Chain A
Amino acid sequence: MTNPLIQIDDEVREMTDEEYAQYLVASKDVIPVG
């Protein structure tokens, strides 16, 4: 299982495990359903 991609300026790469953990924390709200 690979982690999502992160883009830092022009560089695109797979998130490290630490970055992925931080991403999950920062993106944890509910998506509205239309």
Chain B
Amino acid sequence: MTRARDVASSGGLTLIKTQTIGSGVSSVTISNVFSSTYDNYRIVIGGVDCSAVTNLRLQLGSEPNEHYGSLRYDFYTGTDTNFTRNVNQAAFVIAIGGTNDDTSSSFDICSPNLAKRTTASGTFNGFAYSGWFGGGVNTTNQYTSFNLLTSGATLTGGKINVYGYRM
């Protein structure tokens, strides 16, 4: 017989942290969210206003290299469809942000606090641009935090939710 406690311990998302993004920031660090409690995490970013169209990038901890990834994007008119790739960089691209409080992204991070390579994949929409990405960090370093970085623009408002889950 399956008991409720067994279901609760193996499935579903548990909210770990909600972080409201401040005004005019170029980098947001979310600390102390990855631990041995969960192997995997869902990150949901919503309602972010970018000062300009900008790549949003994810850095695990303060890892200075070893981020690899590929992002596929499409401009809604179809006039710009392409890839952005990262090879052994300090972060990988997870979204192209827009300027009308409308940037959102949802993605999963697997094994950030385990002695394994961390991987991430998900989707995004910045109104004009939408797409998906996958990336990973080619080390077995263990992380407790992540950074959300712009490419020269600033972020204002919106929230970042971090959920943990088991598989």
Chain A interfacial positions (CB closer than 8 Å to B): 4-10, 12, 15, 19, 22-23, 25-34
For residue A26, which residues in chain B have a CB less than 8 angstroms away from its CB? Answer: 57, 59, 89-91, 147, 149
Query: CA A24 – CA B126 in complex, angstroms?
Result: 22
For residue B128, which residues in chain A have a CB less than 8 angstroms away from its CB? Answer: 34
For residue B23, which residues in chain A have a CB less than 8 angstroms away from its CB? Answer: 12
Query: CA A10 – CA B20 in complex, angstroms?
Result: 8
B26 pairs with A23, CB closer than 8 A? yes
Query: CA A32 – CA B62 in complex, angstroms?
Result: 26
Chain B interfacial positions (CB closer than 8 Å to A): 19, 21-31, 53-55, 57, 59, 62, 64, 73, 75, 77, 79-80, 82, 84, 86, 89-91, 93, 96, 128-129, 147, 149-152, 154
Query: CA A22 – CA B147 in complex, angstroms?
Result: 12
Nearest 8 pairs between A and B by C-beta? A26-B90, A4-B26, A34-B75, A7-B25, A12-B22, A8-B29, A34-B80, A5-B25
Nearest CB of A to B125, in Å: 14
Query: CA A14 – CA B116 in complex, angstroms?
Result: 34
Given known contacts A32-B80, A32-B82, A32-B84, is B150 in contact with A12 (CB within 8 Å)?
no
Which of B29, B86, B129 has a CB less than 8 Å from the CB of A32?
B129
For residue B54, which residues in chain A have a CB less than 8 angstroms away from its CB? Answer: 31
Nearest CB of A to B34, in Å: 14
